[in-house]
Amino acid sequence: MATYQWKGKKNTGEYLKGEITADNNEQVIEAIRKMDAYPISVRKKSEFFTLSLHSQKEISPNTKISDNNLIVFTRQFSSLIESGVPILQGLVIMIEQQKNKELKGILIKIKEGIESGASLSDSLRKFPKVFNDLYVNLVESGEKGGVLDRVFKRLSVYFEKILKLKRKIKGAMIYPIVVLSVAIGVIIILMTFVIPVFANLFSSVGAKLPALTREVIGFSDFMRSYILYIIIALGAAIFALKAYHKKESGKRNIDRILLKIPVIGILLKKVAIARFARTLSTMVESGVPILAGLAIVSKTSGNKIIEESLMQTKEDVSSGSPLSAALNKTKLFPPLVIQMVMVGEKTGNLDAMLAKVADYYDEEVDNAVNNLTQMLEPALIIFLGIVVGTLVVAMYLPIFNLGKAIKG
């Protein structure tokens, strides 16, 4: 047998610590749980963990990591907690195997915070760029309820589904952006290099040019003369648009316009509903109060107009209105969503009904993305064909006319 030092926390928030003689870690963990507490750390009195307290990169509250790294950490940490590994030892294991320097440094800081007496949620809260309000509030709820293993499992599932949703949207945008970029590149090359060759040829033979050819050559001359200014103007416009979008009023106006664009606006609404339902379902299931959940959910919508509508929903619910009635008041949610939320409220299964809404709208986003792609593909090909075809016809019309004149 050996002497073990341990730390634990009761559901009331009270921290416990002490020493116990046992054969192994499992016996100590079982003893802690019999005290109605969950283990934070267990180690032999003679053992000391030696970890590098400094990573190669300076770790600050603004340090960021990728979504994928966060998901992998959450999934692995969930498995450790579920297996009965104490929080502190779980962090030690994660630190030792972590290859990402930023995440390793963050985990070391979190470990130090817990060793100093802070809770896991308070330690996570110091890195808001990595662990958002949703993450921290769910962990805090798990600490209070003694269900951290379930909370981390829900978080891993939640972030995996949200990342999948993001990738769907990005995937739908890549193809049209690539095709449009190629089209613009082809047009620029034709206008600045190919058209001038034809223009010099026509000028040398003194050919009379059709109106279409003259317009194309004139546009080519304009581009060659002002291409640098055009690029600077486009860059300035993009910079100004980004700066405007950072302002509250600018973001609100741009997001309002985006919601009104045919097809795109519908897709954005479906994405927002899927996120709303998935996030609120996860929070309600984890025991987070509905008002706190709505405050956090509003920030995940990705659209200022929808965010403000959800904040108004929070105010209405705090005034005594049912969630279904408050959502209906926004005019953003379809009747199907309102009805399912209403059923969830009446049956006491709001989290389950919201999860069904999220699953349904994940499918709807899939369909909307496929429809958008199918619509954009032929439209872009037709656009490219018309532009290139017009340039080809404009250049060959004088040649055909010249051939006819020679034969005549």
pLDDT tens-place string over residues 181-210: 888 888 888 888 889 988 888 888 776 788
The two tokens of residue 239 are 């910079």
Is residue 191 within 8 Å of 223, Cβ to Cβ? yes
Q: What is the pLDDT of residue 48?
A: 43
CA atoms within 13 A on the CB side of 224: 16
* pLDDT, position 1: 65
Burial of 348 (0-12, 13-18, 19+ CB in 10 A): exposed
The pLDDT of residue 53 is 43
Main-chain dihedrals φ then ψ at residue 44, nearest 5 degrees: -65, 145
How far the first Cα of the chain sits from its last, in Å, is 113
Q: Contact, 351 vs 284, CB < 8 A?
A: yes
Query: pTM for the whole thing?
Result: 0.71
Please choose, from the candidates 125, 123, 67, 77, the residue with its C-alpha nearest in 3D space to the C-alpha of residue 97.
77
Quote the CA–CA distance of 45 and 41 in Å, as a whole number: 12
DSSP per-residue codes, 302-350: S-HHHHHHHHHHHHHHHTT--HHHHHHHHT-S-HHHHHHHHHHHHHT-H
Cα 373 from chain centroid (whole Å): 21
Distances (CA, A) of 231 to 46, 216, 236, 244, 371: 67, 20, 9, 20, 33
**Below-50 pLDDT ranges, the chain:** 47-56
Query: Which residue, among 259, 248, 261, 251, has the nearest Cα to 332 in the 3D structure?
Result: 259
- At residue 55, the pLDDT reads 42
What SS3 class is residue 114? helix
Contact (CB, 8 A) for 189 and 377: no
The answer to whether 77 touches 90, Cβ cutoff 8 Å, is yes
Contacts of 232 (CB under 8 A, 6+ apart): none
DSSP assignment string, 351-399: HHHHHHHHHHHHHHHHHHHHHHHHHHHHHHHHHHHHHHHHHHHHHHHHH
For residue 360, which of 330, 339, 390 has the smallest C-alpha distance?
A: 339
